[in-house]
Every structure is written in structure tokens, then in C-alpha cells.
């Protein structure tokens, strides 16, 4: 797996919602749903404790840049 970099926004969301780096890593490694987003980004969803964790990220050659992380009540993408 590529190395993970966190944006400032993602770090702030982690602090706000109590999301750990382990949860983000697991969501990126084993997403239940993977949905394309804007600007070449992707939303990875994984159910954790009755809620979904949405990780928005972009990839380049050597890194996975996490743009945002958000807990969601339900899956919002199209399968």
C-alpha cells in the first residue's frame, strides 16, 4: 500500500470526530464501497460501529493523500 499523507483538513476532522489513523488505513485498504468523486478523487466507505466512515482521497505515483474524513449515518453513493 502507498504511504498515506493527511491534509490539514483531514487532521482537523480526525480530531473533531475522534477518528484514528488505523480506521483510515483500514478503510483505504478494505473499503466496502469505492465511489469516484470530483477532481479525480475517490470516496472509500467502510461500516464501523453502526456508521459509515467516508475517506475522500487522491492518489499519485507514491502517495495516497487523504483530503477529508467524515462519519456518515448511511452510504451515499451509487453502486
| pLDDT tens digits for range 15-54 | 999 999 999 999 999 999 999 999 999 999 999 888 999 9
How far apart CA 9 and CA 69 sit, in angstroms, is 9
How far apart CA 48 and CA 7 sit, in angstroms, is 22
pTM: 0.90
What pLDDT does 78 receive? 58
CATH topology of domain 3-72: YaeB-like fold (3.30.2310)
How far apart CA 13 and CA 2 sit, in angstroms, is 22
Residue 28, C-beta contacts closer than 8 angstroms, at least 6 positions apart: 1, 4, 44, 55, 57, 64, 66
- Whether residue 56 is predicted with pLDDT greater than 90 in this model: the reply is yes
- Whether residue 71 is predicted with pLDDT greater than 70 in this model: the reply is yes
Amino acid at each position: 500500500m502507498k504511504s498515506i499523507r493527511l491534509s490539514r483538513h483531514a487532521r482537523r476532522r480526525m480530531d473533531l470526530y475522534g477518528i484514528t489513523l488505523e480506521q483510515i488505513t483500514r478503510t483505504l485498504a478494505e473499503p466496502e464501497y469505492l465511489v469516484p468523486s470530483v477532481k479525480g478523487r475517490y470516496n472509500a466507505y467502510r461500516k464501523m460501529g453502526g456508521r459509515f466512515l467516508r475517506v475522500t482521497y487522491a492518489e499519485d505515483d507514491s502517495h495516497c493523500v487523504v483530503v477529508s474524513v467524515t462519519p456518515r449515518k448511511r452510504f451515499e453513493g451509487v453502486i
